[in-house]
């Protein structure tokens, strides 16, 4: 299987051909599933099912790749060859088998009209998403300044709590960390009010 830039990331499954076409009659249900897997593998190499142009997949490796038994793979391939869906590649005189090719591979592709429509839809969606993205450019990550401000606030709170305990002669009621933010804020305001009263005395 080639790792190609022009390999397809998906294959079109024409609904009418799949439901009403000859494949449903020619192949058993488990063989039809393997047929779809073989088309997916072939989409990585323009219709060829092979490891590379000179080497075929050993049946055990291809069955392992598809997570099926060798028996099911061999049965499906024999049925697909017999029905004219795939053909063996290589030089039969030299007994040089190099894999399989899906005979009507062009029929399993998008037409030029569909490709143009698909490409224009993809580019429109990309353009649209960049226009409607209102957050990525405006939102700034939390920087060192913000982290430093949080630390200063925490230290200020601790010093006020210590002042509170020294003035009142008791340990301050520390704000509960399990409270929701509004309740916690109210509790902190109450402590600050108490501290101001104590400073005024």
Domain boundary pick from 108, 141, 172: 108
The SS3 of residue 138 is coil
In a domain, 164, yes or no: yes
Of 20, 44, 29, 41, which Cα lies nearest the Cα of 76? 29
Express each pLDDT in 141-169 by its tens digit. 555 566 667 677 777 777 766 666 666 55
Express each pLDDT in 16-53 by its tens digit. 988 999 999 999 999 999 999 999 999 888 899 999 88
Indicate whether 112 pLDDT > 90.
Answer: no
47 vs 139: CA distance, rounded Å: 46
- Residue 59 belongs to domain with CATH number: 1.10.10.10
Which of residues 200 and 14 earns the better pLDDT score?
A: 14
CB contact burial 17-26 (16+ within 10 A = b; e otherwise): eeeeeebeeb
Judge if 95 and 172 occupy the same domain: no
The structural domain count of the chain equals: 2
In a domain, 93, yes or no: yes
pLDDT number for residue 104: 85
Judge if 20 and 94 occupy the same domain: yes
Q: What is the percentage of the chain residues whose pLDDT exceeds 70?
A: 64
pTM: 0.54
In a domain, 59, yes or no: yes
Indicate whether 88 pLDDT > 80.
Answer: yes
Domain boundary pick from 48, 82, 108: 108
Domain containing 170 equals 151-200
| Phi, psi dihedrals of residue 14, rounded to the nearest 5° | -75, 115
Express each pLDDT in 117-130 by its tens digit. 766 666 665 555 55
Which of residues 84 and 54 earns the better pLDDT score?
A: 84
34 vs 106: CA distance, rounded Å: 19
Express each pLDDT in 50-82 by its tens digit. 998 888 899 999 999 999 999 999 999 999 999
In a domain, 1, yes or no: no
In a domain, 140, yes or no: no
């Amino acid at each position: 299987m080639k790792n190609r830039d022009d390999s397809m990331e998906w294959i079109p499954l024409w609904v009418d051909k799949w439901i009403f076409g000859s494949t449903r009659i020619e192949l058993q249900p488990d063989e039809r599933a393997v047929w779809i897997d073989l088309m997916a593998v072939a989409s990585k190499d323009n219709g060829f099912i092979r490891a590379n142009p000179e080497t075929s997949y050993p049946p055990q490796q291809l069955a392992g790749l598809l997570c099926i038994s060798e028996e099911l793979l061999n049965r499906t391939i024999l049925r697909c060859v017999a029905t004219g869906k795939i053909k063996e590649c290589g030089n039969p005189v030299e007994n040089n088998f190099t894999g399989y090719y899906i005979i009507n591979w062009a029929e399993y592709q998008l037409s030029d009209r569909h490709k143009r429509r698909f490409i224009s839809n993809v580019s429109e969606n990309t353009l649209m998403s960049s226009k409607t993205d209102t957050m990525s450019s405006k939102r700034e990550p939390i920087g060192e300044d913000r982290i430093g401000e949080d630390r200063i606030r925490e230290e200020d709170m601790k010093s006020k709590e210590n002042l509170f305990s020294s003035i009142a002669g008791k340990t301050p009621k520390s704000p509960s960390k399990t409270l929701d933010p509004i309740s916690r804020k109210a509790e902190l305001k109450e402590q600050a009010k108490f501290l101001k009263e104590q400073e005024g005395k």
